[in-house]
């Protein structure tokens, strides 16, 4: 839509906040073709869409955006430095002395997996991101094996 393009050009921050009703592959692909990229990426996650989809977790959302054409570098920035800057969180978003050292470790896998958007549209991945571990306030948490 023209109003969205104009807002983007004026510097309005665009966030992909994948929720039960708020992510569509076609819309994301059209935006990319028009050189409109989300500055930040998040999820609107809660118990129902975490268990039953389509969101599941941040790794799944990032995998969907890999499929749409975002680079790994764009995705990392959109979940680290960009949100820290957008919300003026001086101690977050990068690894520097004196900043919080909260980290999430992902593994990039060559794997075909069915990815579903909020409208039920399906894309097949070539690569996915899988969580491995994270650290929060100096404590390491490792991903449990899925049964």
Domains of the chain, earliest start first: 2-142 (3.20.20.140)
Question: Percent of the chain scored above 90 by pLDDT?
Answer: 64
pLDDT for 146: 61
Q: Which two tokens stand for residue 2?
A: 């023209």
Strand 127-136 with 139-142, pairing: antiparallel
> pTM for the whole thing?
0.88
Interhelix angle for 72-79 vs 58-68, to 10°?
140
Q: What is the mean pLDDT of the chain?
A: 91
Region of 63 on the Ramachandran plot (φ > 0 left; ψ -120 to 50 alpha; else beta): alpha
Q: How far apart are the first and last CA of the chain?
A: 44
Confidence class of residue 130 from pLDDT cuts 50, 70 and 90? Answer: very high
> What digits encode the pLDDT tens for the residues 56-92?
999 999 999 999 999 999 999 999 999 999 999 999 9
Contact assessment for residue 135 and residue 103, using Cβ atoms and an 8 Å cutoff? yes
- What's the rounded Cα separation, in Å, for the pair 120 and 52? 12
Question: Percent of the chain scored above 70 by pLDDT?
Answer: 98
pLDDT for 121: 97
Q: What is the mean pLDDT of residues 9-32?
A: 91
């Amino acid at each position: 839509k023209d109003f969205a393009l104009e807002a983007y050009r004026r510097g309005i921050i665009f966030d992909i906040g994948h929720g039960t009703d708020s992510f569509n592959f076609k819309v994301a692909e059209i935006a990319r073709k028009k050189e409109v990229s989300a500055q930040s990426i998040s999820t609107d996650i809660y118990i129902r869409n975490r268990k039953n989809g389509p969101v599941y977790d941040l790794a799944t959302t990032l995998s969907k955006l890999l499929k749409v054409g975002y680079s790994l570098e764009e995705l990392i920035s959109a979940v680290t430095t960009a949100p820290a800057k957008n919300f003026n969180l001086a101690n977050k978003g990068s690894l520097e002395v004196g900043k919080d050292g909260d980290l999430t470790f992902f593994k990039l896998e060559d794997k075909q997996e069915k990815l579903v958007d909020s409208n039920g549209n399906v894309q097949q991945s070539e690569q996915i991101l899988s969580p491995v571990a994270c650290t929060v306030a100096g404590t390491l948490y490792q991903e449990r094996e899925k049964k």
